[in-house]
Amino acid sequence: MGRSPTLLTVRVLGIETSCDETAAAVVAETGVAERPWMLASNVVASQGAIHREWGGVVPELASRQHVRDICGVVEAALECASLTLDAIDGVAVTQGPGLVGSLLVGVAFAKSLAFARGIPIIPTHHLAGHIESLTLAHGELPRPAVILVVSGGHTSLYLVSEPGVYQLIGRTRDDAAGEAYDKVAKLLGLPYPGGPVVDRLAQQGNDRAIDFPVTRLTHADRNAPANTAAGILPPDIARRTDFSFSGLKTAVLHHVRKQSPDGSPLPDDHVADICASFQRVVVTALLDRTFEAARWLNARSVGLAGGVSANTRLRADAEARGRKLYLPVFVPPLSLSTDNAAMIAAAGLRRFRAGHVGTLDFNAEASLSLHNADG
Ligand code: KG4
Ligand code: ZN
């Protein structure tokens, strides 16, 4: 059986299987309010090589691989932390959003483990995990904090005024930024996942070589989820904190077709120029909105999280903007930017301390929302 959950500091095993990484990690409380958690281990088994062959994630293959990997990954996380299951006080697992077949593997595993050990289960939101990766790495951020979660599935802006309360103030109306990176990479004939490859090639290109269009959202969002920026930002500003990347992706497609009507590969230096010019527009759009929201909300810090926050230019430009405005900018280390279970354990600890322990009847939810929720 696990230790008593009334212990002064608890240790949580995190499990994350929302997409194509099977991940487990152990995070422990420190007992120090400003830096509440410490990482004991962080293990990720990536399925990148399996999906690369197909140019993107194949859901059925992802679920099957999670089943193969989950036991070994959890064992490795315990071993790296030099702990046995006796030392674990709770299990936090990604409940959603994500691929439902993938989520189900982690959820079923975590429920079984929690039931067998008689310890609490903590269903956790994937984006709360990305947000809390910042607290895990840097301690509590100065609040209010404006946090951009930018990944393959999401591009959302959150206001955090209270620990563990995430208010949605902007989101993409179409593609996520990471999805745009991956699709642009694909149409340039680059391997999956495209983000890191475009990032690398962009460093050799001229970011002004091609004038790709900057999306301006002039109309209100008819499909806006309830309670987004309404009431938090003035309506005209709220409209400007939404994102859109599908037009840019189409512009890159038209450019490539024009340059190579017969579909033959473009010269390497031209590919690098396309990557750099595309990336300049994406990074500018992300940071303009983030810093505009931060200004309106008198934010005391800005955070970037999620897979795209690994991007070299996004990090450098965000830090440069922050320095100019005397506004601290926080970014997780690379190991906590892309999907991992340490962030799930951290967000789970936050929920555990807020009294949100789950019962064994919760289910995986592919489109679980975090809108104005308490995580
Ligand atoms: O957070 P994440 O691991 O998974 C999701 O929750 O979606 O993010 C994966 C996304 C992919 O689209 C990948 O191409 C992108 O993050 N990515 C990057 C970089 N590293 C990963 N995008 C741009 N530059 C990078 N260096
Ligand atoms: Zn993610």
CA of 197 to the centre of ligand 2 (A): 18
| Beta-carbon contacts of residue 307 (< 8 Å; ≥ 6 apart) | 150, 151, 152, 178, 193, 195, 337, 338, 339
Please tell me the total count of domains within the chain.
2
Cα–Cα distance, 235 to 201 (Å, whole number): 38
CATH number assigned to the domain comprising residue 41: 3.30.420.40
Task: Answer whether 196 contacts ligand 1 (Cβ < 6 A).
Answer: yes
Q: Do 112 and 22 sit in the same domain of this protein?
A: yes
- Determine the pLDDT at residue 230: 60
Coil/strand/helix, residue 73: helix
Ligand nearest to the CA of 99: 1
- In terms of residue numbers, what domain contains 79? 11-131+338-372
Q: Do 174 and 309 sit in the same domain of this protein?
A: yes
Quick check: is 284 in a domain?
A: yes
Q: Is there a contact between 30 and 106 (Cβ–Cβ < 8 Å)?
A: no
Q: Do 120 and 147 sit in the same domain of this protein?
A: no
Q: Is there a contact between 178 and 194 (Cβ–Cβ < 8 Å)?
A: no
Quick check: is 69 in a domain?
A: yes
**189-232 pLDDT, tens digit each:** 999 889 999 999 999 999 999 999 887 766 666 666 655 666 78
Q: Is there a contact between 128 and 339 (Cβ–Cβ < 8 Å)?
A: no
Q: Do 300 and 262 sit in the same domain of this protein?
A: yes
Ligand nearest to the CA of 56: 1
Residue 82's CB is within 10 A of a number of other CB atoms, namely 10
Q: Do 55 and 184 sit in the same domain of this protein?
A: no
Q: Is there a contact between 343 and 133 (Cβ–Cβ < 8 Å)?
A: yes
The letter for the amino acid at 295 is: R
Q: Is there a contact between 23 and 341 (Cβ–Cβ < 8 Å)?
A: yes
Quick check: is 3 in a domain?
A: no
Q: Do 68 and 118 sit in the same domain of this protein?
A: yes
Longest Cα pair distance anywhere in the chain, in angstroms?
67
Q: Do 80 and 148 sit in the same domain of this protein?
A: no
| Beta-carbon contacts of residue 295 (< 8 Å; ≥ 6 apart) | 325
Task: Answer whether 19 contacts ligand 1 (Cβ < 6 A).
Answer: yes
Q: Do 109 and 221 sit in the same domain of this protein?
A: no
Q: Do 321 and 347 sit in the same domain of this protein?
A: no
Per-residue pLDDT of the chain (375 residues; tens, 9 = 90+): 555 545 678 999 999 999 999 999 999 999 999 999 999 999 999 998 899 888 888 999 999 999 999 999 999 999 999 999 999 999 999 999 999 999 999 999 999 999 999 999 999 999 999 999 999 999 999 999 999 999 999 999 999 999 999 999 999 999 999 999 999 999 999 998 899 999 999 999 999 999 998 877 666 666 666 556 667 887 777 777 889 999 999 999 999 999 999 989 999 999 999 999 999 999 999 999 999 999 999 999 999 999 999 999 999 999 999 999 999 999 999 999 999 999 999 999 999 999 999 899 999 999 998 864 444
Task: Answer whether 193 contacts ligand 1 (Cβ < 6 A).
Answer: yes
Pocket test for ligand 1, best of 16, 281, 308 (most atoms within 8 A of CB): 308
Quick check: is 39 in a domain?
A: yes
- Determine the pLDDT at residue 48: 87
Pocket test for ligand 1, best of 102, 131, 179, 181 (most atoms within 8 A of CB): 181
Q: Whose alpha carbon is nearest atom 7 of ligand 1?
A: 152
Q: Do 190 and 237 sit in the same domain of this protein?
A: yes
CA of 251 to the centre of ligand 1 (A): 21
Quick check: is 243 in a domain?
A: yes
Task: Answer whether 96 contacts ligand 1 (Cβ < 6 A).
Answer: no
Relative to the CA of 310, which ligand 1 atom is closest?
Answer: 26
Give the DSSP letter string of 113-158.
Answer: HHHHHT--EEEEEHHHHHHHHHHHHHSSPPSSEEEEEESSS-EEEE
Cα–Cα distance, 175 to 178 (Å, whole number): 8
- Determine the pLDDT at residue 35: 96
Task: Answer whether 306 contacts ligand 1 (Cβ < 6 A).
Answer: yes
Quick check: is 360 in a domain?
A: yes
Quick check: is 109 in a domain?
A: yes
Quick check: is 242 in a domain?
A: yes
Task: Answer whether 207 contacts ligand 1 (Cβ < 6 A).
Answer: no
Q: Which residues surround ligand 2, an ion (CB under 5 A)?
A: 151, 339
Q: In Å, what is the CA distance from 166 to each residue of 38, 148, 159, 160, 277?
A: 22, 11, 6, 5, 33
The letter for the amino acid at 362 is: F
Q: Do 282 and 366 sit in the same domain of this protein?
A: no
Q: Do 110 and 246 sit in the same domain of this protein?
A: no
pTM of the model: 0.93
